[in-house]
Amino acid sequence: APVAIEHDGEDIAERLGVRLTSPSRVVFPGQGITKADLVAYYEAVAEVMLPHIKDRPLSLVRCPQGRAKACFFQKHDTGGFPEQLKSTTITEKDGSKEDYFYLDDLAGIIAGTQMNTLEWHIWGSRRESVEKPDRLVFDIDPDEGLDFGSVIKAAEDIGERLRALKLKSYPMVSGGKGVHVIVPIRPEVEWPDAKAFCKDFAQCLAEDEPGRFTANLSKAKRKGRLFIDYLRNERGSTAISPWSARSRQGAPVAVPIAWDELSDLPAANTFSLQSAAARAKNENPWPDYFKTRQSLKGKSVSR
């Protein structure tokens, strides 16, 4: 296979005006992946990643001492970042104002990487219409011990049920344990309606097949089942961005998958930075994702 990550991260950052401190600091000790390597990875996938991540409020998983040490989840821009990672003020439901990160180019991703961001989490809505999601996500969370085959089957069944509601969906391996089934929609309904739809959908699955699925967050109720996490579809909730690295064992990546490829995959964490970058260059798993025009307006889950 051709080498997909071929450039020097330090040069890339410099060219984009982001000063990379400690470019050779190892951020994934298991793989010897440095901060500069991560920059080179994001340059390799930028063209396919940016359309998914840009212009959305973001939360970051930051690991200042690398993946093996303490990491934290950062929702708000509290300052101190290079200017290429931008800030947007959102008025909360209670009228208070909060600053969130967003970006619209590769320099923004590199600025976050400079600040030791190992994971990029996205809102389901964009800055220009923050109250109306343009993507839904069904996050399939398997109980301990369930094999990946059961996750694949669940994703396929969810895709099938969505199709029956005339909704196209797109699977993604999370880089962790599960699969996310993503539904791009026109930003036409507000968060409470979107969440109600997703909750109905998940509860319907769980009612129809209680041995396989639960829509209940409680780990105790998960026993041997798949939790259909519809709670990603709340205002302010986030999900991992397509093509983001994960701060997990093995330095895996969250990667878009075509429906007909899904059954061949061994695990949700099967893509490395190298194999994800090669895929970004050579394959197009979601060719019609950004051409899909569909609405949640008037849709409901029949019971």
Binding residues for Mn ion, rule: CB under 5 A, are 139, 141, 178, 229
CA distance 13 to 85: 13
Smallest distance, ligand ATP to C-beta of residue 88, A: 18
Does 268 sit near ligand ATP (CB under 6 A)? yes
Smallest distance, Mn ion to C-beta of residue 292, A: 23
Smallest distance, Mn ion to C-beta of residue 180, A: 7
Smallest distance, ligand ATP to C-beta of residue 103, A: 16
Smallest distance, ligand ATP to C-beta of residue 14, A: 31
**Contact 100/78 with Cβ under 8 angstroms?**
no
Range 276-290 burial, b when 16+ CB lie within 10 A, else e: bbbbbeeeebbeebe
Of residues 191, 216, 222, 190, the one with CA closest to residue 203:
216
Does 185 sit near ligand ATP (CB under 6 A)? no
Does 178 sit near ligand ATP (CB under 6 A)? yes
- Pick the closer one to ligand ATP by CB: 121 or 161: 121
- Calculate helix-pair angle for 273-282, 35-53, nearest 10 degrees: 40
Q: How many CA atoms lie within 13 A of 35 on its CB side?
A: 25
Q: Which of 124, 176, 252, 256 binds ligand ATP (CB under 6 A)?
A: 176
Does 118 sit near ligand ATP (CB under 6 A)? no
**Contact 23/34 with Cβ under 8 angstroms?**
yes
**Contact 202/154 with Cβ under 8 angstroms?**
no
Does 174 sit near ligand ATP (CB under 6 A)? yes
Smallest distance, ligand ATP to C-beta of residue 178, A: 3
- Pick the closer one to ligand ATP by CB: 77 or 139: 139
**Contact 170/266 with Cβ under 8 angstroms?**
no
Q: Which does 240 bind (CB under 5 to 8 A by kind): Mn ion, ligand ATP, none?
A: ligand ATP
- Pick the closer one to Mn ion by CB: 52 or 232: 232
CA distance 56 to 49: 13
- Pick the closer one to Mn ion by CB: 77 or 139: 139
**Contact 289/17 with Cβ under 8 angstroms?**
no
Copy the structure tokens of residue 250: 């093995």
- Pick the closer one to Mn ion by CB: 86 or 225: 225
Q: Which does 106 bind (CB under 5 to 8 A by kind): ligand ATP, Mn ion, none?
A: none
Q: Which does 238 bind (CB under 5 to 8 A by kind): ligand ATP, Mn ion, none?
A: ligand ATP
Smallest distance, ligand ATP to C-beta of residue 265, A: 13
Smallest distance, Mn ion to C-beta of residue 44, A: 25
**Contact 102/58 with Cβ under 8 angstroms?**
yes
Of residues 202, 198, 203, 153, the one with CA closest to residue 178:
153
CA distance 276 to 253: 7
Does 238 sit near ligand ATP (CB under 6 A)? yes
Does 57 sit near ligand ATP (CB under 6 A)? no
Can you give the binding site for ligand ATP, defined by CB under 6 A? Answer: 59, 73, 121, 139, 141, 174, 176-178, 232, 238-240, 268
